[in-house]
Amino acid sequence: MREIGDVILDLRGISLSFGGVKALTDISFDVREHEVRAIIGPNGAGKSSMLNVINGVYRPQQGEVILRGDHFKRMDPYRAAKAGIARTFQSLALFKGMSVIDNIMTGRNLKMKANLFQQAVWWGMAAREELAHRAKVEEIIDFLEIQHIRKTPVGRLPYGLQKRVDLGRALAMEPQILLLDEPMAGMNVEEKQDMSRFILDVNDQFGTTIVLIEHDMGVVMDLSDRVVVLDYGRKIGDGSPDEVRTNPEVIKAYLGASH
């Protein structure tokens, strides 16, 4: 069984704006090892921007990201990936022209060390690596129950399965921290249940710390240990699911927004 540990990721005073639009204003919160931390809030609240700051796709004007005690004024995606942060995307961002296997294999790229010449002759280390990582990728495919589509180009898959492949690609990195941006958006009840189960299993079996953005309140309350609430780029609530649910400011924000 997992046991929630120390703070692994700490965000301090993050402010981010695009031209005149303030996406995030002075946000601070932390994430503990092995927990499931949810970020909720109405549309345009700044949730996705927050994930983009964590893994360095966006550079905040103010504040810093502290990862296992290391301070990053400017994170960048490559360093974040090396440090064990993986993510999935709100709008699908798979490699459309590639098969399911290749998409997930690509998630292993940081672990593959053969150089271009070895790959070109498909000999020695390059061939061994392809085999070893393929075996690992097949484990992920089994775990996500997508054996039947492993060779299909992802562009041809229905939406729900594409979301699963997106998760598979992130899992292939064997991340310590997994950022999930609305993994269940647009799914039917059954698909949502499957996805919830995968997320819980990842958290449980591998101890992966999870930061989850989700609109479905039922799912959030079921899955998460602690919840941050954003509204118009500001933090208006932070605590256990029960605390957040009864927080008057949160209730107001959700009633005010059309949901």
Interface residues with ligand ATP (CB under 6 A) are 18, 21, 23, 41, 43-49, 90
Residue 254 C-beta: closest distance to ligand ATP, Å: 13
3-class secondary-structure state, position 5:
coil
**Of 98, 89, 110, which is closest to residue 47 (Cα–Cα)?**
89
Cβ atoms 114, 129 nearer than 8 A: yes
Q: Please, which of residues 177-236 interact with another protein by CB under 8 A? A: none
Q: Is 253 in the site for another protein (CB under 8 A)?
A: no
Cβ atoms 172, 208 nearer than 8 A: no
Beta strands in 68-202 (DSSP E): 70-72, 85-87, 177-181
Given ligand ATP, Mg ion, another protein, none, residue 41, with its beta carbon under 5 to 8 Å by kind, binds ligand ATP
Distance CA 250, CA 38 (A): 14
Q: Is 112 in the site for another protein (CB under 8 A)?
A: yes
From candidates 23, 53, 105, 250, binder to another protein by CB under 8 A: 105
Quick one: 14 or 104, whose CB is closer to ligand ATP?
14
Q: Please, which of residues 131-150 interact with another protein by CB under 8 A? A: 131, 134-135, 138
**Residues 50-83, buried b or exposed e (16+ Cβ, 10 A)?**
bbbbbbbebebeebbbebeeeeeeebeeeebbeb
Binding site for another protein (CB under 8 A): 55, 57, 77-78, 80-82, 86-87, 89, 93-98, 102, 105-110, 112, 114, 116, 119-122, 126, 129-131, 134-135, 138, 169-170, 173
